[in-house]
Amino acid sequence: MPVISYDPPERFVAGAVGRPGDRAFYLQARSGRRVTSVGLEKFQVTLLAERLEELLDEVLRRGGGDAEVPAAAPSELKDDGPLDQPVEEEFKVGTMALAWDPADEQVVIEAQEATESDDEPEVGVDDPAVAVLRVRISAAQARAFAERALKVVAAGRPPCPLCGLPLDSEGHVCPRQNGYLG
């Protein structure tokens, strides 16, 4: 499968479809009429957003040349809109990579298709059978992406005040209450 490249996309967001507790998470890139949606797990959305923030903070700390890296997401780039419909999953994400390209002063995000042999080191981006979504965005766009991604994740089920696990509408078996419904 090819590398699906957006350099830069008109829109790049993380979003979820479904009810809290039963949501499917996606990364979605769009340029013109072309829309690419890839599925991933909630924890992957969280990790991507956190690592983006860390990467941008590191570029800021090191004084990334002439790069304009905002400390917070610019309000004009905030995107709270729903995912573009219909959401058609191209592939499920296995591994992701982040990089800062100092020449172009952009963040490069790669989401690689999950494979049955993800543990094998010889399977990688160079494998033509593995699909890759590659997106290049500005530092400001990356801040806005991370902010939205963390909001999407937080919009799920509220956490139990005792153990932090997600609460269902019926409650949950709380390990801190020795298995009683909390």
> Which comes out higher in pLDDT, residue 96 or 126?
96
The residues spanned by each domain of the chain are: 3-157
| Residue 66: pLDDT over 90 | no
What pLDDT sits at residue 124?
Answer: 46
Q: What is the pTM of this model?
A: 0.81
Range ranked top by mean pLDDT from 12-21, 154-163, 172-181: 12-21
Please check whether residue 145 is in contact with residue 14, taking contact to mean a CB–CB distance below 8 angstroms: yes
Q: Mean of the per-residue pLDDT values for the chain? A: 87
Crossing angle of helices 42-61 and 139-154, in 10° steps, is 150
Nearest to 34, CA basis, from 13, 5, 3: 5
Answer with the residue of higher pLDDT: 49 or 173.
Answer: 49
CATH architecture classification, 3-157:
2-Layer Sandwich (3.30)
Look at the chain and count its residues: 182
| 86-123 residues labelled b (16+ CB within 10 A) or e (exposed) | ebeebbebbbbebebeeeebbbbbbbbbbbeeeeeeeb
Q: From the CA atom positions of the chain, what is the Rg in Å? A: 18
d(C-alpha 36, C-alpha 98), whole Å: 19
Query: What mean pLDDT comes out for the span 93-97?
Result: 96
Lowest mean pLDDT among 19-23, 73-77, 88-92: 19-23
pLDDT at 122: 46
| Residue 83 CB coordination number (10 Å) | 19
Q: What is the DSSP string of 96-160?
A: EEEEEETTTTEEEEEEEEP-TTTT-TT-STT-TTS-EEEEEEEHHHHHHHHHHHHHHHHTSSPBP
User: Is residue 111 over pLDDT 70?
Assistant: yes
Q: What is the pLDDT of residue 169?
A: 67
Given a contact cutoff of 8 angstroms between Cβ atoms, the answer to whether 168 and 182 are in contact is no
Q: What is the pLDDT of residue 112?
A: 97
Which of the four pLDDT bands, split at 50, 70 and 90, describes residue 150? very high
Judged against a pLDDT cut of 80, whether residue 96 lies above it is answered with: yes
